[in-house]
């Protein structure tokens, strides 16, 4: 068994994920059924549970990934309600702007997950990726209601970035 505190390296994660997808794709075939989405989903979960017995960090990646997806769906719903409320107001109370968000995430996968999550959330859009004068990567995000830019940055750091790091690195 792997060390509980160690996180999966990328190569091992990809090998486990491919094996898990193979189990999900072939599981219903072994039962001699064509398999619908739910059959494959059940075999994916079974494969993930079995692989998590060999390496617990693989199971943790799935648990934190599921939590991240649930958090993202909640944020999409909450932002949709906020945008709808803005639209039905007699006077639009928009405060649009582009905020530079210094990144804690660093890999291509993590940055892509963050930019995609931000863009999926109504009222926000990832515009560009650049570097600041300190050489740190910065994501430029357009928001319809910026308000306090520092509070906006903190909401991204404490929300999406924290969960992405938890999912990908176990941090």
Q: How many CB atoms lie within 10 A of CB 168?
A: 22
pTM greater than the 0.85 cutoff:
no
Among the ranges given (22-26, 150-154, 159-163), the one the predictor scored with the smallest mean pLDDT:
22-26
Domains identified in the chain and CATH numbers: 10-54 (no CATH), 91-168 (3.30.70)
- In the predicted model, is pLDDT for residue 5 greater than 60? no
Q: Is residue 139 packed enough to be buried (19+ CB in 10 Å), middle (13-18) or exposed (0-12)?
A: buried
The Cα–Cα gap between 28 and 38 comes to 10
The Cα–Cα gap between 124 and 97 comes to 10
Judge contact between 46 and 23, C-beta under 8 A: yes
Q: What is the pLDDT of residues 97-147, one digit of tens each?
A: 999 999 999 888 899 999 999 999 999 999 999 998 988 999 999 999 988
């Amino acid at each position: 068994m792997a060390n509980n505190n160690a996180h999966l390296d990328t190569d091992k994660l990809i090998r486990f994920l491919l094996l898990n997808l193979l189990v999900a794709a072939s599981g219903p075939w072994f039962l001699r059924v064509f398999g619908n989405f739910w059959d494959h989903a059940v075999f994916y979960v079974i494969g993930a549970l079995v692989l998590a017995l060999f390496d617990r960090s693989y199971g943790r990646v799935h648990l934190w990934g599921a939590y991240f997806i649930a958090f993202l769906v909640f944020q999409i719903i909450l932002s949709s309600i906020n945008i709808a409320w803005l639209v039905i107001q007699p006077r639009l109370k928009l405060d649009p702007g582009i905020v530079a968000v210094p990144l804690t995430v660093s890999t291509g996968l993590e940055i892509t997950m963050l930019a995609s999550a931000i863009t999926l959330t109504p009222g926000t859009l990832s515009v560009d990726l650049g570097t600041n004068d300190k050489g740190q990567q910065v994501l430029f995000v357009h928001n319809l209601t910026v308000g306090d830019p520092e509070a906006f940055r903190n909401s991204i750091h404490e929300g999406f970035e924290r969960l992405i790091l938890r999912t990908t690195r176990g941090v």
